[in-house]
Amino acid sequence: MHILIIGAAGMVGRKLTAALVKAGRVAGRDISKLTLADMVQPERPAFSGAVETVAADLSAAGAAAKLVARRPDLIFHLAAIVSGEAEADFDKGYRINLDGTRFLLEAIRQEGLTSPYVPKLVFTSSIAVFGAPFPEAIGDEFFSTPLTSYGTQKAICELLLNDYSRRGFVDGIGIRLPTIVIRPGKPNLAASGFFSNILREPLAGQEAVLPVSKDVRHWFASPRAAVGFLIHAAELDTQKLGWRRTLSAPGLSTTVGEEIEALRRVAGERAVSLIREIPDEKIIRIVEGWARNFDTCRAAALGFKAETSFDEIIRIHIEDELGGKIGG
Amino acid sequence: MHILIIGAAGMVGRKLTAALVKAGRVAGRDISKLTLADMVQPERPAFSGAVETVAADLSAAGAAAKLVARRPDLIFHLAAIVSGEAEADFDKGYRINLDGTRFLLEAIRQEGLTSPYVPKLVFTSSIAVFGAPFPEAIGDEFFSTPLTSYGTQKAICELLLNDYSRRGFVDGIGIRLPTIVIRPGKPNLAASGFFSNILREPLAGQEAVLPVSKDVRHWFASPRAAVGFLIHAAELDTQKLGWRRTLSAPGLSTTVGEEIEALRRVAGERAVSLIREIPDEKIIRIVEGWARNFDTCRAAALGFKAETSFDEIIRIHIEDELGGKIGG
């Protein structure tokens, strides 16, 4: 099986690549080749099969067609610019997040016009397709009314994925990822960054800023769970989805206060003492519009699994990023 | 006030033009100029103000920018190819129904970059954004899972309209029209054509074919009501909509059997006797996937009004199309 990962240099892309390399197979078939694409050339993993790394901008003319001409059996499309950037740069957001995905779908359709070709396509969508006001728990049939350009672009891609699948051009499945915690690496300026920062930094013995109230509730899964969703999606019989090809992944609905209590249990009082509460009105307002909880019956029935406690999310970070040891 | 109607040569476009010409004003302001655009040059109405008629393909390079450069205060965007054609010609559907609308929105944004310009934009969406399975009555927060490319294109345009409005580039409102009955003119091959044919033809003394069961239930409004929705939308304070800029218009949920009973009451037994029941499996299957009923609380609260009986819908046709007389 030949797998193409678009957005392979990102955090989820790298972890997905590592998981596929480790397993050596997916959906009961051996992986013979990996094509890894991103805006910057992805790192080459140590893999026994063929590996090609490609620097490509999916929104550039012909880029999608070139990737698809290799006829991968399975495509993971993870590439996107983030919410903040899509809001700050309207043109770039629509170009990368909407046109890039549409060009990919269209390249697949065009490739199939020459001789039959219907690859499986796993697309990462986002809970940003939902915008307030919404019910306390967002169900599987709640409508998409995004309050960001990023969420709009993702919601449009979901519709395209459905239609291209229904028409038989691609075998698509979309997964709306929860907010991923604990993101490894340095603190970033994303409005959601603090959810990770207040755990990752204290676990490394560093101070972190909490800009919102401890009552704030949000929807989370670990990077390991996110990779699990994508591989499960790749292995899923999409007939079970009908023509509603995107679903909200399971996750954990937790308050910031509960996050901190989990940190206390796993890493002790000293770690918690490194969190500085410095309210930031701008971030408080942004976060007010975010989803708090989901009712993901559909994903659960289809076998998707996420963490059930924040202690588990913290332990996964310690295992996967810190070599099993708490620093500081 | 300068009004631009895109899709002015279509059935709704012509009736909207006539209604605006007759009223002479909209939203409390006199109409000084009408620009009427369509793929074919629209007819020039007898209007005391300025009139310009334009043959333009909105999906052609520069066409939207040219229309928008005239800086209309109010734009009605009704142009689309119909469901059957968008399903038969994938490329054309996306080009006209998606790209055409996106080019219009983008032309408005670009025009506003030169000097402030935020026109009101009334967009006709469709109940085709909904796809089975759905509840008996589709509520205002039910999700869009279209089962046609046409419905997909309309759902995407709704998302774009929201985002361009939220970003302050346009003051948009979208109206999901019910199936319009009684469509004037000749019987056409649209799968929904029979809903009109079985009334219009007998009212003119002609035979008509009923291809589905009398139990089939669907969602209707008259052409007059549709024009009323569009003018009401143009006059509505969009602040009341928040960022959820598209709504399902009110309508009448009726079975084919009830349609026929209304025909009997208004036009007598002889008219009803002209309906031939000839089941068509293809149309039966298509119609099974269509919405049956809506719960349009939101539109009702905002003052949109539709017919409340099929007798009324038939009488409107007799008044507006037959000069008050039943033929045959």
Give the tens place of pLDDT for each residue, A137-161.
999 999 999 999 999 999 999 999 9
pLDDT at res. B327: 67
- Reported as type and span, the H/E element at residue B114 is helix B100-114
pLDDT at res. A189: 67
Cross-chain residue pair B155–A159, CB shorter than 8 Å = yes
Specify the CATH number of the domain B2-178+221-248.
3.40.50.720
Residues of chain B with CATH 3.40.50.720: 2-178+221-248
DSSP secondary-structure letter at A70? T
Q: Which residue has the tokens 């993901």?
A: A296
Cross-chain residue pair B143–A147, CB shorter than 8 Å = no
- Reported as type and span, the H/E element at residue A317 is helix A310-321
Contacts of B241 in chain A (CB under 8 A): none
- The C-alpha angle with vertex A70 and arms to A65 and A75, in degrees rounded to 5, equals 80
Q: Is B132 on the interface with A (CB under 8 A)?
A: no
Cross-chain residue pair A143–B147, CB shorter than 8 Å = no
Cross-chain residue pair B159–A152, CB shorter than 8 Å = yes
CA dihedral B80, B157, A38, A175 (to 10 degrees): -120
Contacts of A143 in chain B (CB under 8 A): 141-144
How long, in residues, is chain B?
328
Q: Is B100 on the interface with A (CB under 8 A)?
A: no
pLDDT at res. B328: 54
A&B contacts, CB < 8 Å: 54
The dihedral of CA A183, A187, A193, A199: what is its sign? positive
CA dihedral B104, B110, B115, B121 (to 10 degrees): 20
Could you give the C-alpha distances from B113 to A285, B110, B124, B248, in angstroms and in order?
Answer: 28, 5, 26, 32
How long, in residues, is chain A?
328
Separation of alpha carbons A235 and B182, rounded Å: 49
Considering only the beta carbons, identify the residue of B90, B167, B243 that sits closest to A145. Answer: B243
In single-letter form, the type of residue at position B22 comes to K
In single-letter form, the type of residue at position A162 comes to N
Considering only the beta carbons, identify the residue of B90, B142, B156 that sits closest to A159. Answer: B156
Per-residue pLDDT of chain B (328 residues; tens, 9 = 90+): 999 999 999 999 999 999 999 999 999 999 999 999 999 999 999 999 999 999 999 999 999 999 999 999 999 999 999 888 999 999 999 999 999 999 999 999 999 999 999 999 999 999 999 999 989 899 999 999 999 999 999 999 999 999 999 999 999 999 999 999 999 988 776 788 999 999 999 999 999 999 999 999 999 999 999 999 999 999 999 999 999 999 999 999 999 999 999 999 999 999 999 999 999 998 998 888 889 999 999 999 999 999 999 999 999 999 999 999 886 5
Separation of alpha carbons A208 and A216, rounded Å: 17
Cβ neighbours of residue B45 closer than 8 Å, sequence gap 6 or more: B17, B18, B21, B34, B36, B51
The closest alpha carbon to A199, from A179, A183, A215, belongs to A183
pLDDT at res. B186: 84
Residues of chain B with CATH 3.90.25.10: 193-219+252-293+307-321
Residues of chain A predicted below pLDDT 50 = none
Tally helices (H) and strands (E) across chain A: 13, 14
Contacts of A162 in chain B (CB under 8 A): 145-146, 152
Q: Is B143 on the interface with A (CB under 8 A)?
A: yes
Contacts of A132 in chain B (CB under 8 A): none
B150 is catalytic: yes
Q: How many CA atoms lie within 13 A of B9 on its CB side?
A: 14
Q: Which residue has the tokens 């989820």?
A: A12
- Reported as type and span, the H/E element at residue B50 is strand B50-55
State in words which class domain B193-219+252-293+307-321 has.
alpha beta
Considering only the beta carbons, identify the residue of A109, A144, A147 that sits closest to B243. Answer: A147
Q: Is B117 on the interface with A (CB under 8 A)?
A: no
Which chain A residue is nearest to residue B99, measuring alpha carbons?
A99
Q: Is B92 on the interface with A (CB under 8 A)?
A: no
- Collapsing DSSP to helix, strand or coil, B175 comes out as strand
Q: Is A172 on the interface with B (CB under 8 A)?
A: no
Tokens representing A298? Answer: 């559909």
Which chain A residue is nearest to residue B129, measuring alpha carbons?
A159
Q: Which CATH architecture has domain A2-178+223-248?
A: 3-Layer(aba) Sandwich (3.40)
Considering only the beta carbons, identify the residue of B141, B152, B162 that sits closest to A162. Answer: B152
CB A88, CB A18: distance < 8 Å: no
- Reported as type and span, the H/E element at residue A53 is strand A50-55
